[in-house]
Homo-oligomer: A and B are copies of this chain.
Amino acid sequence: MEPASGSRHAGPAARPAAAAVLPAGGSGERLGGATPKQFCTVHGRPLVSYTVRAMERISWISDIIVVVSPENIETMKTIIQKYGHKRVTVVKGGITRHRSIFNGLKVFAEDEFSKYLLQKPEVVVIHDAVRPFVEEDILLEVVMAAKEHGAAGAIRPLVSTVIASSADGCLDHSLERARYRASEMPQAFLFDIIYQAYQQCTDYDLDYGTECLHLALKYGKTKAKLIEGTADLWKVTYKRDLYAAESIIKDNLSQQVGVITDVKEDVVQVGLLLHESLKSQIQVEAISISLCQNESHLQNMFSGRCYNFIYIHDKQPAFQETHLLVDMLEKSNITLLYPVILISVHLNSSENISFSIGMEELTRNKKFAREVKKKNIWVYDLLIHYKDCLPLQEAVNSAAALIMALIKDRNPELIGQLLVA
């Protein structure tokens, strides 16, 4: 996951040359839904796109082969186009997992696929399309181990005891948990070893097997190196896993906020207080700027891994300025993969006891937000109204709580609403 990546990056010298095959042909039976899980949307984007992105951002992975069932080829191509994925080739899968992976490998080795012009890699990574949170660290570790041992795969401790049942549905024996591991993904292989294993294996293997490490052992006489992976390698299998994936993605997206204030003294002061109040909960980057001036600082802010922005001003309406920000965000391209949140904070210190908000203004805010949502920018409005009788600090704390709620929930239905601190 990009926004909160803590990966160590491979130095240029250590970088291997690898390709990746992502089997994405599963049928989603276990989810109990019609849509196979790799195509279920998570925070608005199909799960498979997250996994493709996890591979794509790694410079030493030259090609990414996504293997999908025939009926999903067009869907997959549309996803690649829509989210601007690069170096991806879509390949038609077989009727089982092993047959699909084999089809993915053939692209590098067989004449009939020469049209793809893909170079046979030294090492091939095999990774499930439904394990989106794979990090560069573990990929590198597995690939380097494959270079040395011929094959390698990530493993995890067993969560439950594994048992064997007898023919009458009773316990036969239980396995000693400490001696066994769950075989997970990613796995990696010297290309020739896994490809030759697939060429030799039987129809029974292709139809009923699932484990590539097993094929490398059986047909390639290669004992895979096992690498302890982290918990985030888990496979999205059930509906609850989609919930978990969405929460993790939202959590990752809500680690950082950019605070933009115009240069007026009042506004700058509130910006500082808000910064102070937010910084215990989220990483804050702040600038004070006149929006009509040089915007290079803002462009820097928009080119990082920040997907949340607050614009503090004392204008109402602030459509012109918000428009400017929206345009810059759009140009920055960060809206391609994730919705970007923009909270327009209106500062009002009117002493007028009968201060009120007009319905026309609210209607206009909503209409504006609906327009901008098409660009994958979600605009919310927040009013900080303070008077002598209500200390500013209290209003700012309340604003910070509302801002955090909007950033964490990332709810598209609430765009254009005006919240009051």
Contact = CB atoms under 8 A, between A and B. Distances in A.
Contact of A165 (B181, B231, B235, B414): B181
Taken together, the copies of this chain in the complex come to 2
B224 A170 contact: yes
A401 interface: yes
B179 A164 contact: yes
Contact of A223 (B171, B179, B211): B171
Interface string A150-167: 010101101111111110
Contacts of A235: 159-160
A380 B31 CA distance: 34
A178 to B, nearest CB: 8
A136 interface: no
Given A223-B171, A226-B170, A243-B243, A413 B404 contact: yes
A161 B251 CA distance: 30
Nearest to A153: B171
A161 B174 contact: no
Contacts of A356: 356-359
**Chain A interface helix/strand/loop/mixed:** mixed
A231 B240 contact: yes
A240 B252 CA distance: 12
Nearest to A402: B413
Given A171-B226, A413-B404, A164 B180 contact: yes
A226 B359 contact: no
A264 interface: no
A409 B410 CA distance: 10
A244 B210 CA distance: 27
Contacts of A238: 231, 234
Interface in A108-156: 149, 151, 153, 155-156
A96 interface: no
A139 to B, nearest CB: 18
Contacts of A414: 402, 405, 419
A210 B157 CA distance: 14
A159 B237 contact: yes
A158 B162 contact: yes
Contact of A217 (B149, B171, B184): B171
A213 interface: yes
Interface in A363-421: 363, 366, 385, 401-402, 404-405, 409, 411, 413-414, 417-420
A213 B182 contact: no
A332 interface: no
Contacts of A184: 160
Nearest to A366: B420
Given A162-B162, A356-B357, A405 B411 contact: yes
Nearest to A416: B420
- Residue of A234, A359, A366, A420 contacting most chain B CB atoms (<10 Å): A359
A409 B420 CA distance: 19
Contact of A248 (B170, B211, B240, B409): B240
A6 interface: no
A405 B243 CA distance: 16
Nearest to A357: B357
Nearest to A227: B169
Contacts of A413: 401-402, 404-405
Contacts of A234: 238, 240
Contacts of A231: 30, 238-240
10 tightest A-B CB contacts, nearest first = A243-B247, A405-B413, A240-B244, A160-B182, A170-B223, A356-B356, A244-B244, A161-B183, A171-B224, A356-B358
19 contacts: A149-B170, A155-B163, A161-B211, A162-B181, A163-B180, A170-B224, A171-B213, A171-B224, A173-B217, A174-B214, A243-B247, A243-B248, A244-B247, A353-B360, A354-B359, A355-B359, A357-B362, A402-B413, A405-B411
